[in-house]
């Protein structure tokens, strides 16, 4: 079915969300090509992409569920479970690792009382080790939203978390 007829697919979403998704799909030559913006909109609406949402998305875009699971698993911007108010990305690649990123991540885990990928008990922070934040000049580094933190040490992680309160 073509994007010119976005309503041609399954309608697993309630209006007005369904109408908004139809407008997104209409901008693409094929339904499946709209997957990223559709997933992004659904995550904004629902907070995360549950198995049910992934199944609904697959039906709506007329693709196998495995294709949607693959996209959600590949992109770190998509969350499979509810996350905290702040998503704390900590770089774990070579430049940061050579300057102590592993100790920084362990410090965040200890201070937050979580493991990698988990959310603090108060629901404020989700700790996400990330492959590269592109801030090698201030390694080891972290990002929360638009805020960047660099030259981190296990001791400075407390200051980062204070800023998030």
Q: Is the peptide bond before 43 cis (omega within 30 degrees of 0)?
A: no
Structural domain includes residue 26: yes
Residue 4: its pLDDT value, please? 39
Residue 145: its pLDDT value, please? 87
Residue 48: its pLDDT value, please? 93
Residue 2: its pLDDT value, please? 39
Residue 62 belongs to domain spanning: 6-74
- List % helix, strand, coil for the chain (3-state, nearest 5): 45, 15, 40
Residue 77: its pLDDT value, please? 84
Structural domain includes residue 80: no
Structural domain includes residue 70: yes
Q: Work out how many domains the chain is built from and give that number.
A: 2
Task: Give the pTM.
Answer: 0.70
If asked whether residues 109 and 53 sit together in one domain, one would say no
Residue 5: its pLDDT value, please? 41
Pairing between strand 147-149 and 86-91? Answer: unpaired
Tens of pLDDT along the chain (165 residues)?
434 344 444 567 888 999 999 999 999 999 999 999 999 999 999 989 999 999 999 999 999 999 999 999 998 889 998 899 999 999 999 999 999 999 999 999 999 999 998 999 999 999 999 989 999 999 999 999 889 999 999 999 999 999 998
**In this structure, what token pair is assigned to residue 94?**
């070579």
The phi, psi pair for 17, rounded to 5°, reads -60, -45
CB-hemisphere CA count at 13 Å for 111? 21
**Is residue 129 left, alpha or beta, with left meaning phi > 0 and alpha meaning psi from -120 to 50?**
beta
Q: What is the C-alpha separation between 136 and 25, in angstroms, rounded? A: 37
Residue 111: its pLDDT value, please? 97
What order of strands is seen across the sheet that includes strand 86-91? 125-130, 86-91, 142-144, 147-149
Q: What is the C-alpha separation between 94 and 96, in angstroms, rounded? A: 5
If asked whether residues 95 and 159 sit together in one domain, one would say yes
Structural domain includes residue 81: no
CATH number for the domain that contains residue 67: 1.10.10.1590
CATH number for the domain that contains residue 126: 3.40.30.10
Residue 12: its pLDDT value, please? 79
With vertex at residue 25, the alpha carbon angle to CA 20 and CA 29, rounded to the nearest 5 degrees, is 160
Residue 76: its pLDDT value, please? 80
**In this structure, what token pair is assigned to residue 56?**
């609904």
């Amino acid at each position: 079915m073509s994007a010119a007829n976005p309503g041609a697919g399954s309608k697993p979403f309630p209006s007005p969300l369904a109408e908004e998704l139809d407008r997104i799909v209409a901008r693409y030559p094929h339904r499946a090509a709209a997957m990223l913006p559709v997933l992004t909109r659904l995550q904004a609406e629902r907070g995360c992409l549950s198995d049910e949402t992934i199944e609904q998305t697959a039906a709506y875009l007329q693709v196998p569920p495995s294709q949607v699971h693959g996209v959600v698993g590949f992109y770190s911007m998509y969350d499979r479970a509810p996350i905290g108010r702040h998503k704390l990305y900590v770089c774990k690649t070579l430049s940061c690792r050579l300057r102590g990123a592993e100790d920084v991540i362990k410090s965040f885990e200890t201070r937050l009382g979580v493991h990698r990928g988990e959310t603090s008990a108060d629901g404020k922070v989700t700790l996400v080790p990330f492959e590269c934040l592109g801030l090698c000049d201030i390694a080891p580094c972290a990002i929360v939203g638009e805020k960047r933190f660099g030259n981190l040490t296990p001791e400075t992680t407390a200051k980062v978390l204070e800023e998030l309160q």
